[in-house]
């Protein structure tokens, strides 16, 4: 597991309809993978430590028996109650993956591979979307191929 996350600063304040696309590959023996949508990190919180305010925590856990689960969570100084669902986005850890996170008015919508289908997962907002400034990728990532920020046209 990595001691430091892969981080990317959002180039602007997110709005409803915006998307963040992540392409990469997990390690073939991955046990955990998580994506955090973070509010600003206070100066006293060092890099490599989870920030105190995470608007959305998307985590996939791979168990020894071959089963796996997706956990949705958020953090307001302390971790809140988890929502656990079946993992059906990551079938083969040896293959590259694409995840798209879309900001909606009341929920985060998560799509595997593309957005031409209903969301694979949804999680309600607990902290303001417009306060998110940073995305972190933690744990058993072999590499990150691409992170793309897709912003809707504000003039629409």
Q: What average pLDDT score do residues 75-97 get?
A: 92
Assess contact for 73 and 59: CB atoms under 8 A: yes
Structural domains in the chain, sorted by start: 6-150 (2.60.120.200)
Q: What average pLDDT score do residues 31-40 get?
A: 94
Cα separation, 140 vs 119, in Å, equals 24
Q: How many helices and strands in the chain, by DSSP H and E?
A: 0, 12
Cα separation, 137 vs 4, in Å, equals 9
Cα separation, 36 vs 2, in Å, equals 14
pTM of the predicted model over 0.75:
yes
Give me the sign of the Cα torsion angle 138, 66, 72, 112: positive
Residue 1 has a pLDDT of 43
pLDDT at 2 over 60: no
Computed over every residue of the chain, the mean pLDDT equals 90
Residue 3 has a pLDDT of 60
């Amino acid at each position: 597991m990595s001691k430091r996350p892969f981080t990317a600063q959002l180039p602007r304040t997110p709005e409803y309809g915006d998307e963040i696309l992540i392409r990469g590959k997990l390690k073939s023996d991955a046990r955990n993978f998580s994506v955090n949508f973070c509010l600003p990190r206070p100066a006293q919180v060092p890099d490599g430590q989870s920030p105190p305010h995470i608007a959305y925590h998307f985590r996939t856990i791979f168990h020894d028996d071959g089963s796996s689960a997706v956990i949705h969570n958020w953090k307001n100084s302390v971790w809140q109650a988890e929502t656990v669902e079946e993992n059906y986005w990551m079938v083969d850890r040896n293959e590259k993956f694409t995840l798209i996170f879309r900001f909606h008015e009341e929920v985060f919508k998560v799509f595997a591979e593309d957005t031409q289908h209903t969301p694979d997962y949804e999680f309600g907002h607990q902290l303001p979307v417009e306060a998110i400034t940073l995305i972190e990728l933690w744990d058993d990532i072999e590499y990150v191929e691409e992170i793309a920020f897709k912003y809707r046209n504000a003039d629409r």
